[in-house]
Chains A and B, each alone.
Chain A
């Protein structure tokens, strides 16, 4: 029997009915990883022993159907940005190459409570800085639809692992596009939560006012279930727990009658591939036919999103990455340095890759005396304008529907040495991130790339983005769920 590409509910039933054990499932996915990871480079660390131990434990625990925690015995992968006690956590950087966290991130602790089975830690752009997977110190991840192309990033390994059927679902994180963009380019579903919905505790920090841990999987009903499990109050992250967590998966409602969907015209940017536009417009037409009220809307300051982000993100990065000092953990020049200053200067010089250095330096520059007002303060003021713009639009519509990315997956190497790659690749995701909004990307078709041939028969995946108001997860899940009831794009998988 084949288990790849099955949804969580299907795996749950197989486990509950004792048609398969968690150990068998885990071995099945570990075997797929062994075969395909050398080519895809989706995993940095595979936790085989630990996974089999967790699976044995889950098998002992699985009892009467209906009584089992929803994720009990189900394998998953985690972006290597989530701290895992006793298991190396690198953030795909050399500075954390040997780092063994002494604690679990809150999200990992919640999954341990469920008796989920961790298969391994997935590749990413170094410190999540990037949108291609190429800034990883462990080499780029390949897109399972076409291995000459990038899977998107920064959650490159999580997206590729799920797309290739190496893991039923995976933890990912977003700061400005890092879930939606790779989900879109890899042809899977991804959920970027409302900021503060999911705890950031134990997730290697990038931009603390933006970081939102989330998930990628095969369907919106899986995402809704996962959201229920990983969301909520955490006393270690004081931005969490402001709003109770609804039973998203039980509440899923595919009835679109009376649902108002705004289509922001600024999201159909210049240079967007025609196939993307068509895929998304066809998807919106499906929603309309099913009863949704479609309304063209305008968010005129959308174009400033990436500019604001290009200042705020490196600013927060320069502050967050100051902690890597070569003294307490991580790569250190302690043995050769003469004094403390040299420990700092050399440990950081040796440990950080180009992209991390670029962001730290950019952030340090825009925050430094004389430039603070012109850059940082102006960006924060503009961020407020963008937040207000969304706030006002959600008085008129329930959700927004638009493309997730301007292009299908680009060739590997396209991002290297282009300091602006991410700001352009993520331009349709960043404004929502600045406003802390919940959003989805769901597969909605295929398009031929304009930058060369691809062996993927129907072209490469296109993603429909659905953005909701703050704490409006249920609305975006409902529209995404309705779309997946109407269409079968999320059931398409690459040949493996």
Chain B
């Protein structure tokens, strides 16, 4: 089972605050999932040597389009969703 510290560490990496009860719950839940995928270790493929992973299925390489500026007509709709804006920018809290 994952330790509490491990769960807290990944929760911080994922930027989700967890209560103590949640830490315990996810300790168990994550362990269930990780135990479940354990069998993948026996899968008939090696990750060393001639690895040929599939990150996607389309076979596409570098789809490009013209780099053209277009005017959006929905500024108000976009900024209207934010808790705070200033001079046409999203305003955030102090970083440090």
The chain B residue with its CB closest to the CB of A373 is B47
Interface size, chain B (Cβ < 8 Å): 54
B-contacting 9-mer, from A9-17, A144-152, A234-242, A258-266: A234-242
Cβ-defined contact, A100 with B47, below 8 A:
no
Cβ-defined contact, B44 with A361, below 8 A:
no
**17 sampled A-B residue pairs with Cβ under 8 A:** A100-B77, A102-B81, A307-B36, A307-B39, A308-B40, A322-B15, A325-B15, A328-B78, A328-B81, A339-B94, A346-B17, A348-B16, A364-B10, A365-B6, A378-B41, A385-B45, A419-B33
Q: How many Å lie between the Cα of A360 and that of B22 in the bound state? A: 14
Any chain B CB within 8 A of the CB of A486? no
A380-B84 contact in complex given A358-B30, A373-B47, C-beta closer than 8 Å? no
Interface string of B40-69 (1 = CB under 8 A from A): 110111110001111111101001010000
Q: Which of B15, B29, B40, B94 contacts A358 (CB 8 A)?
A: B29
Q: How many Å lie between the Cα of A361 and that of B31 in the bound state? A: 11
Interface size, chain A (Cβ < 8 Å): 73
What residues on B are CB-neighbors of A53 within 8 Å? none
Residues of chain A touching chain B, judged by Cβ–Cβ distance below 8 Å, are 85-86, 99-100, 102-103, 195-196, 209, 235, 238-239, 242, 301, 304, 307-308, 310-311, 314, 318, 322, 325-330, 332, 334-335, 337-346, 348-349, 352, 354, 357-358, 360-362, 364-365, 368, 373-375, 377-385, 387, 419-420, 423, 434-436, 470
What residues on B are CB-neighbors of A340 within 8 Å? 92-95
A361-B60 contact in complex given A307-B37, A338-B93, A348-B15, C-beta closer than 8 Å? no
Cβ-defined contact, A357 with B26, below 8 A:
yes
What residues on A are CB-neighbors of B15 within 8 Å? 322, 325, 341, 344-345, 348
Q: How many Å lie between the Cα of A327 and that of B30 in the bound state? A: 29
A361-B53 contact in complex given A307-B37, A343-B93, C-beta closer than 8 Å? no
A382-B45 contact in complex given A100-B77, A361-B26, A420-B32, C-beta closer than 8 Å? yes
Any chain A CB within 8 A of the CB of B11? yes
What residues on B are CB-neighbors of A103 within 8 Å? 74
Interface string of B66-87 (1 = CB under 8 A from A): 0000000010011011111000
A377-B51 contact in complex given A102-B78, A362-B30, C-beta closer than 8 Å? yes
Nearest-CB distance from B44 to chain A (Å)? 7
What residues on B are CB-neighbors of A332 within 8 Å? 83
What residues on B are CB-neighbors of A348 within 8 Å? 14-17
Nearest-CB distance from B77 to chain A (Å)? 3
Q: How many Å lie between the Cα of A85 and that of B25 in the bound state? A: 38
Cβ-defined contact, B74 with A339, below 8 A:
no
The 5 closest A-B pairs by CB, nearest first: A102-B77, A436-B57, A380-B53, A329-B81, A238-B63
Q: How many Å lie between the Cα of A113 and that of B46 in the bound state? A: 49
A239-B60 contact in complex given A99-B81, A330-B81, A379-B40, C-beta closer than 8 Å? yes
Given A100-B81, A310-B37, A435-B57, 8 more contacts at CB 8 Å? A338-B93, A340-B95, A346-B17, A368-B10, A368-B13, A378-B40, A382-B43, A387-B54
Cβ-defined contact, B93 with A365, below 8 A:
no
Nearest-CB distance from A86 to chain B (Å)? 8
A362-B90 contact in complex given A195-B57, A436-B58, C-beta closer than 8 Å? no
Q: How many Å lie between the Cα of A475 and that of B39 in the bound state? A: 35
Most buried by B among A344, A361, A373: A361
A318-B14 contact in complex given A308-B40, A335-B83, C-beta closer than 8 Å? yes
What residues on B are CB-neighbors of A352 within 8 Å? 16
Q: How many Å lie between the Cα of A470 and that of B56 in the bound state? A: 13
Any chain A CB within 8 A of the CB of B18? yes
Most buried by A among B17, B18, B34, B94: B17
Cβ-defined contact, A377 with B36, below 8 A:
no
What residues on A are CB-neighbors of B30 within 8 Å? 358, 361-362, 365
Nearest-CB distance from A319 to chain B (Å)? 10
